[in-house]
Amino acid sequence: MSAKDRFLAAFVALLWGLNFLAVRIGLDHYPPFFLSALRFLVLAVPVVLFVPRPKAPLRWLVLYGMGFGALQFGLLFLAIDQGMPSGRASVVVQAAAPFTMLLGAALLGERISRRQLGGIALAVIGMTVIAVERARSAALLPLLLTVLAALGWALGNIAGRQARPDHPLRFALWMAVVPPVPLLALSAVMEGPATGWRALGASFGDDGWPALVALLYTALAGSVVGSGIWTTLLKRYEAATVAPFSMLVPVVGVTVAWLFLDERLTGWAAAGSVAVVGGVLLGSTTSRRKAPANRPPVRDGLTRPAAQSPAEPTSRVQDTNRS
């Protein structure tokens, strides 16, 4: 990988890591389900008007949008709103990778290597450490919501894998059409039918512009720009070469939360976070083997595909964003 492309991969990780700061700023103004609905609605309108629909079965597009979009972002935004530190959320949501491997084995009959099992075990240990630390402060519910958000991401990964779209980036963009309706319905029931819309109107005032900027960042910079660069890199290099750069996302998330939100990790939380990231990295990479001379190299089937959300970050183990 050239120095320029390494810089671009790191830049994408920076964009996705900053998503968590943007979400925290947005939640200071918008209710969580409404904010997650707006995040997709901003994309859905231009996508329907200007982006050709990819060739993929409709059922998998809907399931992908419900898992990766509505479940992941709805629950993640709710978790942060309920007290989950955004930096720690950027770490815990990486559990989507081991969840995807386990679901792939259970639902699709995929094999899990010993290396991947070791990665899953290490990530589970890390999440357990964080859970114990959170339980001591009587704040276990936000952690559970974040873990469920990671499970939603993993379910979306499985649907995206089964869809086999002809154009992965268009597929990822068209996914944005699915979440707004269920998320707006949840917002109306849980947050009040007019609460979110009043907040949206107020965001165009003098005091609401930070939330509006945060909303546009999560929808455009975090998703469109980040996914576009990531897709370009995956066309140039093997997925196993590009995918490890996604592990910079929680590093960025934790760092900006410390710098701008004064979120500090305890010793136990830091150890658990390192274990989660290390487990995901261990399970998401494979040892390189020299391909036979008469066979073309085979791309790793358990690494990041050509498009990601986001939040964003997607991979075949772990579908984007990164929030």
* 62-86 residue pLDDT tens: 999 999 999 999 999 999 999 999 9
- Classify residue 67: in a domain, yes or no: yes
- Classify residue 111: in a domain, yes or no: yes
Tokens at 283, concatenated: 């399970």
* 264-310 residue pLDDT tens: 878 888 888 888 888 877 876 655 544 444 444 443 333 333 344 44
The residues with which 314 forms a beta bridge, in sequence order, are: 319
- Classify residue 295: in a domain, yes or no: no
- What's this model's pTM, rounded to 2 decimal places? 0.83
Spell out the alpha helix ranges (H) of the chain. Answer: 3-27, 32-50, 58-64, 72-81, 86-92, 96-108, 114-136, 140-163, 168-174, 180-190, 195-202, 209-216, 226-236, 239-242, 248-261, 267-284
Q: Are 81 and 264 in contact (CB under 8 A)?
A: no
What pLDDT score does 138 carry? 58
Q: Residue 6 to residues 3, 244, 251, 282, 300: CA-CA distances in angstroms? A: 5, 11, 17, 20, 20
- Classify residue 316: in a domain, yes or no: no
- Classify residue 301: in a domain, yes or no: no
| Structural domains of the chain, count | 1
- Classify residue 79: in a domain, yes or no: yes
Q: Are 73 and 42 in contact (CB under 8 A)?
A: no
- Classify residue 319: in a domain, yes or no: no
What is the domain extent for residue 150?
3-284
Q: Assess whether pLDDT exceeds 80 at residue 55.
A: yes
Selection from 94, 93, 88, 90 nearest residue 18 by Cα: 90
Q: How far apart are CA 308 and CA 236, in angstroms?
A: 16
Q: Assess whether pLDDT exceeds 60 at residue 195.
A: yes
- Classify residue 134: in a domain, yes or no: yes
What pLDDT score does 284 carry? 67
